[in-house]
Amino acid sequence: MSMKKLILVIIAMMGVAGVASAARNETVSMYVGQQKTIDRGQITISFLSVVDDSRCPVNVQCVWAGNAKIKIAVSKGGGVAQTFELNSTLDPRTITAYGYKISFGDLTRKPAGMGRMPTRPLATLNVNKQNLETDEEIRIRIGQQRSTDQGRVTIRFISVIEDSRCPMNARCIQAGNAKIRVVVTRGRLSRTVELNTNAQPQTVNVVGYQLALQDLAPHKGEPGRNRNSPKTATITVHKN
Residue 16 has pLDDT above 50, yes or no: no
Q: What is the value of pTM for the model shown?
A: 0.55
Tell how far CA 101 is from the center of its chain. 6
Domain match, 122 and 195 both: no
Contact 47, 33 (CB under 8 A): yes
Residue 5 domain flag: no
Q: What is the mean pLDDT of residues 25-50?
A: 91
Domain match, 80 and 46 both: yes
Residue 11 domain flag: no
Domain match, 104 and 170 both: no
Q: What is the CATH number of the domain that holds 30?
A: 2.60.98
Contact 106, 86 (CB under 8 A): no
Domain match, 55 and 37 both: yes
How many residues are given for the chain?
Answer: 240
Q: What is the CATH number of the domain that holds 171?
A: 2.60.98.10
% of the chain with per-residue pLDDT over 90 = 40
CA angle 89, 97, 42 (to 5 degrees): 125
Residue 12 domain flag: no
Last residue of one domain, picked from the residues 90, 113, 130: 130
Domain match, 166 and 123 both: no
How many domains is the chain built from? 2
Domain match, 38 and 121 both: yes
Domain match, 40 and 71 both: yes
Last residue of one domain, picked from the residues 82, 103, 130: 130
Residue 158 domain flag: yes
The torsion defined by the Cα of 76, 194, 200 and 97, in degrees rounded to 10, comes to 10
171-198 per-position pLDDT tens digit: 887 778 999 999 999 999 999 999 998 8
The torsion defined by the Cα of 82, 88, 92 and 96, in degrees rounded to 10, comes to 50
Q: What's the domain range around 100?
A: 25-130
Q: Among 180, 181, 162, which residue's Cα sits nearest to residue 220?
A: 162
